[in-house]
Amino acid sequence: MTDMTGSPGPGVGTVAPVAPASAPGAADEEAARRWRLVLGRYAAEHLSVPGQDAGLERSLRYLYDREYAARGHRAGRGEHDQRPGRGGGTLDPSAVQGVDWTAMTWLGEAQKLFPRETFERMQVDAVGRYGLTELLADEAAVEALEPSRELATALLQVRGRLDERAAVGLRRVISKVVEDVVRRLRPRFMTAVGGRVDRSRRSMHRVARNFDWKRTVRANLGRLDAQGRVVVQDVRFSSRSKRALTWDVIVLVDQSGSMASSLLYSAVCAGILTGLPGIDVRLVLFDTSVVDMTHLAHDPVSVLLTAQLGGGTDIARAVRFAEQQVRNPSRTVVALVSDFEEGGSVSELLAAVRRLASSGVRLLGLAALDEAAEPAYDRGTAQRLAEAGMEVAALTPERFAEWLGEVLA
């Protein structure tokens, strides 16, 4: 069995489970079936909906007819006649083939009808693209939503339009997503950043990150089996020493709308770092103003629910703020998470970066900090920052942990 990704409206994807075709005729029928689900009601004149697809059709229409309605489309005779003056009703997304569905009804049906990956995409469209935020006000609906980074990002972008009941549901969804990301990332940060390996001392803490393969091989070279293979009986682990001096890690995070995903991971990474020994974290969010969120850095959920996505960008102001916080330049890291679309003074930004770099501060400019690490950013400004002494990259959170580990070693 295979799945098909299609689009009932421009730029919108969905998946319908399909049966294997056994002959050319069956293949044509299957293709027609798929296209009918992709195109929606505007293909009704030429393509019919098979009986087994009635539920899929209702669910897709309830959500994606909103795309047509938002563009001013009206249904005339037979629902496909778009000629002026033909009359007819609008594409009312609340009335689906005579069934008075609510958002919660739709959610339950979609969850049953579609594969999990498709349902996750549809719920993101429902909340982020079509404004079905009433889902967040229903406890059962919140429990039915599949927590994902994409859903969390969409919710952060509509947070300012939610009422009090929906805001409670928003916190629950964001909390689930953050818990999942922290659970996955914390071991990586502990391995990469959690202390320097001291190979002169053996450790009784027998965990994978402390495994010393070189000393293990040397300790077992004299133990061979009949085939000449080394028999490992003495497994060695190295100790990790605490850092003699504390490192300051200053994380500056751009709050512009395009950075929503990176904001999520920046908050999580800062929260994890606050729990590691020998590291003092300062978390700063900025747009045209600068907000020091260090007091909440240990709580990524509160950081995300406080952030204000959108607005202008004054990177120079944020970097100057970080400059004022530097206590020991040779033991300070500044990580700037931004798309580098500077609305302030580029010359002042570059001057601040040069001062920090010449003082010994390690600077990393992150055009993206998320799982995709595929940024859209101002390449010109990024190039000039790199020339001024800032390392510029787009990293996954795991690679960011590795980079920090290399710097703090």
Contact 273, 193 (CB under 8 A): yes
**Class of 247-408 in CATH:** alpha beta
CA distances from 1 to 16, 17, 55, 278, 388 (A): 11, 8, 19, 53, 55
Taking only Cα atoms into account, the Rg of the chain, rounded to an integer number of angstroms, comes to 27
Q: What is the pTM of this model?
A: 0.69
Per-residue pLDDT 10s for the chain (409 aa) are: 333 333 344 344 444 454 454 444 667 777 777 777 776 666 766 777 777 777 787 878 877 777 766 666 655 444 444 444 444 444 444 444 444 567 777 777 787 888 888 888 888 888 778 777 778 888 888 888 888 888 888 888 887 777 788 888 889 999 999 999 999 999 999 888 875 544 454 444 455 556 666 777 777 777 777 777 777 767 776 544 444 568 999 999 999 877 888 999 999 999 999 999 889 999 999 999 999 999 999 999 999 999 888 778 999 999 999 999 999 999 999 999 999 999 999 999 999 999 999 999 999 999 999 888 888 899 999 999 999 999 999 999 999 999 998 898 7
Which amino acid is present at 154?
A: A
Q: State how far the Cα of 288 lies from the Cα of 312, in Å rounded to an integer.
A: 5
Full DSSP string of 183-205: HHHHHHHHHHHS-EEEEEEE-S-
Q: State how far the Cα of 218 lies from the Cα of 213, in Å rounded to an integer.
A: 9
> How open is the CA angle 54-94-127, to the nearest 5 degrees?
95
Report the chain's terminal Cα–Cα distance, integer Å: 50
Q: What is the pLDDT of residue 260?
A: 87
Q: What is the pLDDT of residue 99?
A: 45
* Residue 280: HSE in the Cβ half-sphere, 13 Å Cα cutoff: 10
Q: What is the pLDDT of residue 69?
A: 67
Q: State how far the Cα of 83 lies from the Cα of 75, in Å rounded to an integer.
A: 9
Which amino acid is present at 160?
A: G
Determine what percent of the chain falls in helix, strand and coil, rounding each to the nearest 5: 50, 15, 30
Q: What is the pLDDT of residue 129?
A: 80
Q: SS3 for 338-385, per residue?
A: CCCCCCCCHHHHHHHHHHHHHHCCEEEEEEEECCCCCCCCCHHHHHHH
Q: Hunting for tokens 């001096």 — which residue is that?
A: 245
Q: Which two tokens stand for residue 55?
A: 């539920």
Contact 259, 339 (CB under 8 A): yes
3-state secondary structure of 288: coil
Q: Identify the bridge partners of residue 17 per DSSP, sorted by sequence position.
A: 3
Q: What is the pLDDT of residue 200?
A: 52
Domain ranges of the chain: 1-101, 105-193, 197-241, 247-408
Q: What is the pLDDT of residue 15?
A: 45
Residue ranges of alpha helices (H) inside 40-148 are: 54-70, 103-113, 116-124, 139-144
DSSP for residue 21:
P
